[in-house]
A = this chain, B = another copy of it.
């Protein structure tokens, strides 16, 4: 098996991040291949996992779109992230062997289930897998810190601009258009992620549209001026 085949095999099952950058020989790759227990299809609206359920596997998103969120006792919902192809879900559950958030599919999706015990075992045998796994966990921490900055310091326009630019970036990284895409989530869900009410999301979309920064048609988004959108962030003079 040559590098090209390995790359292909990796990407089919969203293992890109774990096995790339590649330093694997074919024997090593064999073991990695065994990691994936099975694929699982999740219908829109179905849960991949729920708070309190026992953890045993991480999930690599093969395709589709997920939302993860916490539910506070009184029903308040905090969306902790929106997740797309190639991303890894379940990292939070390693700490206590119990899932600490809910993960729901926002469109029909498919994931690869990776038994965590097996991943740790392979990590031991294949240094590059361990290294990349650590990088993935660390990246999640960095992402979370970025969200804290957003929630703690930015006004509504900045938050939404950050959100749109982040989606744009991630779509682009997957070979999709960075400036023309469909939102998979409602205004309310965007609000629950950004710490804003759905009305504020709607109003801010309208404002961006009036200013010619973007075109919004329900869930269909066109970013017309990426640079201007970037300027919205960090243009602040007095805020919080």
Known: A72-B234, A131-B120, A134-B94. A78 touches B152 (CB 8 A): yes
Contacts of A127 in B (CB 8 A): 120, 124
- A123-B130, A152-B193 known; 11 other A-B pairs, CB under 8 Å? A76-B153, A92-B141, A95-B138, A95-B142, A120-B127, A123-B124, A124-B124, A137-B137, A151-B151, A151-B152, A152-B195
Within 8 A of B (CB), among A97-121: 100-101, 120
Determine if A10 is an interface residue (Cβ-Cβ < 8 Å): no
Contacts of A101 in B (CB 8 A): 145
> Is there contact, CB below 8 Å, between A145 and B74?
no
In the complex, what residue of chain B is closest to A146 when comparing beta carbons? B70
Determine if A80 is an interface residue (Cβ-Cβ < 8 Å): yes
A115 to chain B, nearest CB (A): 14
CA A91 – CA B80 in complex, angstroms? 19
Determine if A236 is an interface residue (Cβ-Cβ < 8 Å): yes
The 8 A CB mask of A132-143 against B (1 = contact, 0 = none) is 001111111110
Contacts of A227 in B (CB 8 A): none
Contacts of A197 in B (CB 8 A): 240
Contacts of A160 in B (CB 8 A): none
> Is there contact, CB below 8 Å, between B131 and A134?
no
Q: Residue A78 contacts which of B72, B153, B192, B237 (CB distance < 8 angstroms)? A: B153
Q: Residue A138 contacts which of B70, B137, B146 (CB distance < 8 angstroms)? A: B137
CA A197 – CA B239 in complex, angstroms? 10
A148 to chain B, nearest CB (A): 6
Contacts of A152 in B (CB 8 A): 78, 151, 192-195
> Is there contact, CB below 8 Å, between B153 and A72?
yes
Contacts of A72 in B (CB 8 A): 149, 153, 234
Known: A140-B141, A141-B140, A147-B148. A130 touches B135 (CB 8 A): no
CA A138 – CA B120 in complex, angstroms? 14
Determine if A73 is an interface residue (Cβ-Cβ < 8 Å): yes
Determine if A84 is an interface residue (Cβ-Cβ < 8 Å): no
